[in-house]
Structure 1
Amino acid sequence: MDAGAPAGDHAGMRNWGKELGFVDVRGLSDRAGHTLLTAEIAVTDELWTPLAPWEKSAARAFAVGLTMDTAVVCGKSAARLIGIELPGWEDTVEVTYPGKRKPGGQRYWPEGVRFRYRNLGEDEVVEREGIRLTAIYRTLRDIAVLHGLADGVVALDSARRRWPEVSMQTWRSGLLRGPRFKGVGTVRRVLDLSVPDSDSPQESLARIRLIIADLPGVEEIRTQVRFEADGRSYPVDLLINEWLVLEFDGDIKYEEGAFGRTTRETVLKEREREVLLLNLGLQVRRVRARDLELDADGWCPMFGIVLDALRGREELGRKIRD
């Protein structure tokens, strides 16, 4: 385990094998009604189908980890097992070999598995529930190096949300420890841009997208700012230029019975809150997960939402002045 790792690092990792009752494929006389997670492990469709896509990513990573003799689950797949939240999901499980061993050609990889070369030290590997995976600091570092700045910030924000007792200096020391490595500049940038109070992966992703895009007119971005109205305190996800609020709501929020409320109750509460914020002179825009998806040109719908609000504010100010 990493020296100075967060308390409970990897502890409480979900045992997907027990939860889903993994079945040895060799013992199945008929595979009907089962989904194959690896060539050796299956799960009944009854238990598999209701899972959320990101849960399926974690369960698949768990199954692959059980079948690996020497390889170690790493990157986003290790993050899923640890419980670090990431936007979206993965159909491919990332693994690597400890030490300097390089993986063979892609034609030798099992289906649904991607080997990475990571020059991994044995002290950067932990074993939980019969699976070898990268320790938390190495997992976070690898996400930044393999997947880039945005994913790196989202992962570190999530880790800080889960282990708030860990100081920023400890995260910095953990992610940068050891010999200099390729991608250290990206990891340093991730550390500089991470915040301790991001409330969700979508919020983290939106914030870093806006920072990278450097949109004209966006002068300041603040997280989890609270406003007082009607005797109550209302936090907002992102506040741009002190007046534009961006709120991020997953679809699950509107499901019947979510958080103990009916869908109608949720919508009414949301509308009441929004009216109070509007009465404070704020503008509120709601952003969906798909509004954060970049196209081939590096553009996402959220940028349009923000720019439209900025232009509207500017035009209103011009009319008032005229």
Structure 2
Amino acid sequence: MTISREDVLAARDRIVGRVRRTPLLAPSGRDTVWLKCEHLQHCGVFKTRGAFNRQLAALEHGELGDAGIVVASGGNAGLAQAFAASELGIRATVFVPEAAPGVKVRLIEAYGAEVRRTGREYAEAHEAAVVFGQQQGATFVHAYDQPDVAAGAGTLAEEVLEDEPTIDTIVVAVGGGGLYAGVAAAVRGRARVVAVEPELAPTLRRAMEAGEPVDVAVSGVAADSLGARRIGDLAFAAQQAEPPVSVLVSDDHIVAARHRLWHEHRIASEHGAATAMAALLSGAYVPEHGERVAVVVCGANTDPTTLA
């Protein structure tokens, strides 16, 4: 299962007018790091792109029935799918782990979706969502590992290179890998991709070492958004087509990057979104002299009182 740039371009055409074209914040002084401000996307997360692409494609193909869609999510995917469903008049049921952040659950419910808390981890919520879809006839939407979802995410990379064609490298956080797979498809042959994971949730790194996706133990400050237990097939195929620069960062570095984004840029990012920036600030990824780097700040669904 793979996606191509053509899939990303088709997604871009499908979702135009439904999502925001988020700004690319230019560097200052001698800095050569741009920030793709995807935290300003509808719902405060990049996943809104894939949500609209998946649901609009399902409508085009006649896949949707009265039961609407069902998705499992640590929070952000459910939020994005609930928002898209509300905009398109589609019923949505969202399964979340019991530990899903309350701020995200409340927003999901505010968009009219039914929320069902199931299990301690995303994987358990995922299994319950699959069963629900089979029993109720709801169309299953994967949080990250479906071509339409990943291709939608990849549209942000198209924007990056349209706004600044001289970008050499795009740095993205990796959980289940939908964003990475979409970005990799969009920029293959045009820019390098740095795939950044928390040390406590290294799904892509372990898959690359094992030669296949494998389960890993998941914990840490970014587990609510980067908490998939296994890398998706799309992301694994993407690294086979063109290996990324794989980087791991500690929880301490993620926390420090999140505070840096707030204090220097007034960007209220969640820990998962700060993971990409942590690779640069910690020195885990050191750009070459003159390398022009864009860091994707992919989500803002966090408790702002923790940013002081």
**Structure 1 length-normalised TM:** 0.25
**Structure 2 length-normalised TM:** 0.25
Higher RCO (CA 8 Å, separation ≥ 6 residues): 2
More strand by share: 1
